[in-house]
Amino acid sequence: MVILMVLQFGAIHSKPTTYMVGDEDGWDSGLDMEGWTKGKTFHAGDFLVFTYDGQQFDVAVVNQTGHDSCSLNDGAKVFHSGNDKIQLAFGANYFIDTVADLCAAGMKMAINATAPPPSV
């Protein structure tokens, strides 16, 4: 009966995963942030935690043009706290440091978040 209810009303989605961006190194200019994403599967609703020196770095959520050009686009959201938790939207998600030289040196990443996997 319970299985029938789950099938009838749709699958229950698993809990979101929280990722520490850059692992123990954090959001840092010494890392290739695009490389950090390799081998990971991201889902809509997952969280990214950006830890960094707020006096030296920041993180901005931008569109693809902003990511590719290392610049802020209209509607970009910039975070400065040094400990920012950002939830992934379904589809393409783009992040940069707003200092163009840092961004061009690797402080940017693109993540494609797929639909969350169902769990029963």
Query: What pLDDT score was predicted for residue 116?
Result: 84
pTM score of the predicted model: 0.85
Cα–Cα separations (whole angstroms), residue 84 to 9, 19, 63: 35, 12, 18
Tens of pLDDT, residue by residue over 51-75, are 999 899 999 999 999 999 999 999 9
Query: What pLDDT score was predicted for residue 13?
Result: 54
Residue 1 reports pLDDT greater than 70: no
Task: State the chain's mean pLDDT as an integer.
Answer: 89
Query: What pLDDT score was predicted for residue 119?
Result: 66
Query: What pLDDT score was predicted for residue 118?
Result: 72
DSSP 23: G
Tens of pLDDT, residue by residue over 17-54, are 999 999 999 999 999 999 999 999 999 999 999 999 98
